[in-house]
Every structure is written in structure tokens, then in C-alpha cells.
Amino acid sequence: MKLQAGGTRRGPQLGGAVHPSARTGFPSCVTTLIAGSATRGRIWFLLAAVLMGWPPASHAQTSAAADSTCAGCHDVGEKVKKSGHAQVGCSKCHLKHDEYPHPANVPKPVCVSCHAPQVGDHATSVHGQELKKGNAAAPNCDSCHGTAHELLPARTAEFKKGIPATCGTCHNDVQSQFDQSVHGKAVARGIMDAPVCTDCHGEHNIQRPKESASLVNAGHLRETCGRCHGDLRLARQFGLPSDRLTSFDASFQGVASLMGYRPRK
């Protein structure tokens, strides 16, 4: 062992690296023993952790195990796997159903628990207002989306293509007109950039056309139609004129609309 200038001790060299004894100040045999003890300690700790079941099972693993238990009596498991709720565990909606026999008078699942904004919009819509008036024929969540175990993911092409038929359950005359329109024919051909009912009327917060907040009210038609007919990408894709909004604004109808004129009903 040599001393450098200034009294710094220089330990044995191992392949150009400083031996641990130079950093600790202990002889190399002691340093090796300490390092070996630390390694053995880590091994014993990990072995004990595995025997004690650590790390704990993830939430997804726990949920999957619970759902498997439910499937022993309930045959909806395969339906749920194909639905928009495939990643939602049974216990997320069905409270206290981990107890058996299931306790009586447990409240049924409600959509608002997870979908509060959508439920709030629906409550203020024409559909929600009709339900409040006692109109049992007015649509609720299940009417449009289907049952919780079988509903389709709302952002899929399959769901969008089925929207006209869903709305047509109540609005069959309007659906017939839509099916014969350029938009309806495009949707039937599988063109998903073509608009369906909800693209123009809105989704959960649909208002009567006469209401000023309605997307198809005369005061909003330019903006609503302009989402597609003012989109240069769509114009190029389908070979549409790209100046539809400009030409409308310069027309008599466009000027009148800009000045606040609304057609009389």
C-alpha cells in the first residue's frame, strides 16, 4: 500500500479499478466478508418476501379472480368480455355481491356512478325532461346503449353504424328520410366520416330544434354543418367544394342569418 502526495492512501488496483478496501479503510478480507453478508441478506429477504406472498396481487388480478367466482352462477361473463365494460369488474357495479348469499335490497347499479357528466347532460335533454314528465317511452341509457353486460363501445364503427336504427326505434319517419339521404347512403356503405343523428343533434344533451341551445336550431346550423362542410380534409377526401361556408355567408340566407333572422314556424 502506497501513500500519494498529501497523504491519500492508494489501495490495491483490480483491472484499473480501485479495490473496495480503499474506499472503506478496512482490509480487503473484511470488505469481502461484509459484501458477502449483504448479498446473503438480500437473498434471505427476497426469499422471505416470496414465501409471505409479496408483492401483493394487482387490482386486475384480484378483480379477474372475483369475476371468475361470479361466473360460477352467472352466465353473463362471455357477454361482458365482448362489451364496452370488458375492463370493469363485477364488484365495480354490483356492491356487496361478494357476500353469499347475496344480501337483500342491495341497490341496483346506476350509470351515474361512473358516467356522471353524461347522465347530467341526459337529465337536461329533451329525453330526460320527457322521463321526468312520466313519459315511459322516452329513452334512458339502456334504450340507446343496450344492457350493461352487452353494450358496444360507443366509439366503434359498429356502434356508429347502428345509431340511425337505434334512433329510428322512436323516430322511424325521420330514419326513413335519413336512409335515403346522401349521408344515410354513405353510412350504409361503411363510410364512417359520414354524419349520423348524433353528429348533428348531439349525443346525451339533445334539445328540441326550436330551443336556442339545439345544435340544429337555425342559429347554429352554419356551425353544425360547417364541422364537415368547412373541413378541408373531408372536402378533399370526398371531392366536395371547399367554399361552402364562404358561399353561404355571401348568400341572402347567410346574410339574414348573420343579422339574426330566424324563419317562422
Fill in the amino acid letter for 11: G
Task: Please determine, for residue 255, whether its predicted confidence score (pLDDT) is greater than 60.
Answer: yes
Sign of CA dihedral 146, 148, 153, 158: negative
Burial (0-12, 13-18, 19+ Cβ within 10 Å), 258: exposed
Evaluate if pTM is beyond 0.75. no
Whole-angstrom Cα Rg for the chain: 34
Task: Tell me what the mean pLDDT of segment 250-261 comes to.
Answer: 84
Per the model's pLDDT, the better-predicted residue between 176 and 58 turns out to be 176
Planar angle of CA 232, 176, 118, nearest 5 degrees: 65
C-alpha cell at 116: 356522471
How far apart CA 183 and CA 181 sit, in angstroms, is 5
